[in-house]
Each structure stands twice: as structure tokens, then as C-alpha cells.
Amino acid sequence: MTSPEAPSLYDRLGGTDGINEIAAAVVQAHSINPAIKDFFADSDMEKLTRDVADFFNMGSGGPAEYQGRDMPSAHKDMNLNEAHLVAAIDDVLGVLDARGVDPVTRNEVLGILYSFKGEVLFQ
């Protein structure tokens, strides 16, 4: 007998609707986080929310196509450091925790986000 296939990360995050809600909450959290909010002061928050949603959707195995800039282009000339990265990731984890996302899924998202460290911090 075959065991049922485990739900994808996309499904565990709530599909497109859940990911859209996560993205909106993450962008909101970033916009008020004292460590990183200044980076978002001149941003088009609606576009940023769409880009974050598409990024999470595609990156988690969903059907969306991310049309935003690649990580190095999006973060070029921002002079980000490790503390900025940790603050941004903490915002994401806080949103996931507030939504009751299970620890395995949370850690999977953490691993994916942290894998972009070199592209964001240019290390």
C-alpha cells in the first residue's frame, strides 16, 4: 500500500489565498519594523505585496509566476547587513507564528529564506 503524498509547502501555507494574506502581513510588518522600515519608505506597497506573494507562491510550488527582480537586483545598493536580514526573516516568522503555521513548515520557510543570504547581502 502506498502512503499518501504529503501536502506541498504551497498547500501548507494555505494556497494562493493563504500566501496572499501572509505576504500582506509580512509587508505590513516590514513597514513598521524599526530595523528595516526605512528601506520601504518610498516603496509602492501594493506592488511589493504582489511581488512578495508571487515570490512565496512560486517558491513554495504554487502556480504563480514571479515577475519581480531577482534577489541581487532587488537588493543592490541597499547596503544591507546581517541584522537587516535577520529582522526581515523574523518578520516572516512572526507572521507564520501568528497564523499558527506548524514548526516543520515554519522551518522549511526559514531554510528557503536563509538560502538567499548570499544574494541579498552579496557575500
Q: How confident is the model at residue 33 (pLDDT cuts 50, 70, 90)?
A: very high
**Stretch 33-46: mean pLDDT, rounded?**
96
Give the DSSP letter string of 27-38: HHHHHH-TTTGG
**Which CATH code for domain 12-60+68-121?**
1.10.490.10
**Stretch 99-118: mean pLDDT, rounded?**
96
pTM here?
A: 0.91
Nearby residues of 15 by Cβ (< 8 Å), 6 or more positions away:
62
